[in-house]
Amino acid sequence: MFAKFTKDMKATHTILIPTMIDPHFRFMQGVLRDEGYKSVLLGENRQNIVEEGLRSVHNDMCYPALLVIGQFIDALKSGEFDTHKVALLISQTGGGCRASNYINLLRKALEDSGFSYVPAISLNFGSLDENEFSLGKKSLLKLFAAIFYGDLMMGLYNQCKPYEKIKNQTNEIYEFCAERIKNLTDQRSFFNLKKNFKFILSQFAKIERDDKPRVKVGIVGEIYLKYSPIGNNGLNAYLIRENAEPVNTGLMDFVLTCIYDAVYDKQLYGKGGVAYYGSLAVAKVVEFFQRMMIKQMKRFGFRAPSPFSEVRAAA
């Protein structure tokens, strides 16, 4: 049996979260704080992560599994945390690949490493695990808003950093906006997406940029390796240093892909019911706000991503 995360642990335990994508996870951390959870983002890229992953995960498993689990085990062994007062948070999407099966690998690794008493919590939306992470409906809405803000800032950073005339101006504005949004999570204004989109865009529009063309390099592939500096060896920063402009899709496109699974289940297999109509309704709302973000990006003169409806049609 694995260690259970109980309600009383909310006051005593700190939740460790593996690094993947910034600033999205910083905003999500703010949402957890508002729910009364203490959390720490594991951001350090240390050689021990790979070594612990190789010790803890069979080498037939994928590299992202090795890194995520290795980062957890490395953190527990680092001496930075009271291992009897921490829990580990990992997501499950419901698909057939590693995104749903990591948690079982993680629990085996915890047992093999002598940390079987550390709870591993699942963040999912489909009742996939007994040790699920529960959030209120308002916090779930905040997570959607956090992803939108993160996608916008990630795209703007990549469009500004390679062209900036004043060194580190992009980083300063990025951090300023990230802290502002993170501090809004407990306020009603956090849901005022249009106003906050305009604020973020107005800040990035202040950056002085040259008009010298840069090679645009698309980053594609498995979700963890696309976004995580640990997974891709700091690819985004490397491309900028090499005088190129990184181009990456937003995390919301991945979320919409998951939401549309239920829609396609009806079209392909005849499955219907609440899941179909609920997913369709959520998708339409999310796409409405995505179009709002795209419109504002164009208004401020930035290159906007394609609406998800066009991505689906192209596929």
Instruction: List, in order of start, the domains of the chain with CATH numbers.
Output: 9-123 (3.40.50), 137-212+249-314 (no CATH)
Closest CA to 133 of 145, 124, 142: 124
Average pLDDT over residues 134-144: 86
Q: What is the pLDDT of residues 64-111, one digit of tens each?
A: 889 999 999 999 999 999 999 999 998 776 666 656 677 888 999 999
201 token code pair: 């865009």
Query: Contact at 8 Å (CB) between 51 and 169?
Result: no
Look at residue 213 in the predicted model and tell me its pLDDT.
94
Determine phi and psi for 198, rounding to 5 degrees: -60, -40
* Contact between 280 and 263 (Cβ < 8 Å): yes
203 or 99, higher pLDDT: 203
Say how many C-beta atoms besides its own lie within 10 A of residue 154's C-beta: 22
Could you tell me which residue, 206 or 278, shows the higher pLDDT?
Answer: 206
Query: Which pair of structure tokens corresponds to residue 205?
Result: 């529009």
- Structure token digits, residue 311: 């991505």
The burial of 16, by beta-carbon neighbours within 10 Å (0-12 exposed, 13-18 middle, 19 or more buried), is given as: buried
pLDDT, averaged across the chain: 90
> Count of alpha carbons within 13 Å of 298, Cβ hemisphere only?
10
Beta-strand relationship, 244-248 and 120-123: unpaired
Q: Which residues contact 189 (CB under 8 A, 6 or more apart)?
A: 195, 196
Least confident range from 25-29, 61-65, 120-124, 297-301: namely 120-124
Mean pLDDT for the stretch of residues 240-263: 93
What pLDDT does residue 273 have?
Answer: 81
* 180 touches 285 (CB < 8 A): no
Band the pLDDT of 237: cuts 50, 70, 90.
Answer: very high
Report d(CA 173, CA 282) in Å as an integer: 32
19: left (phi over 0), alpha (psi -120 to 50) or beta: beta
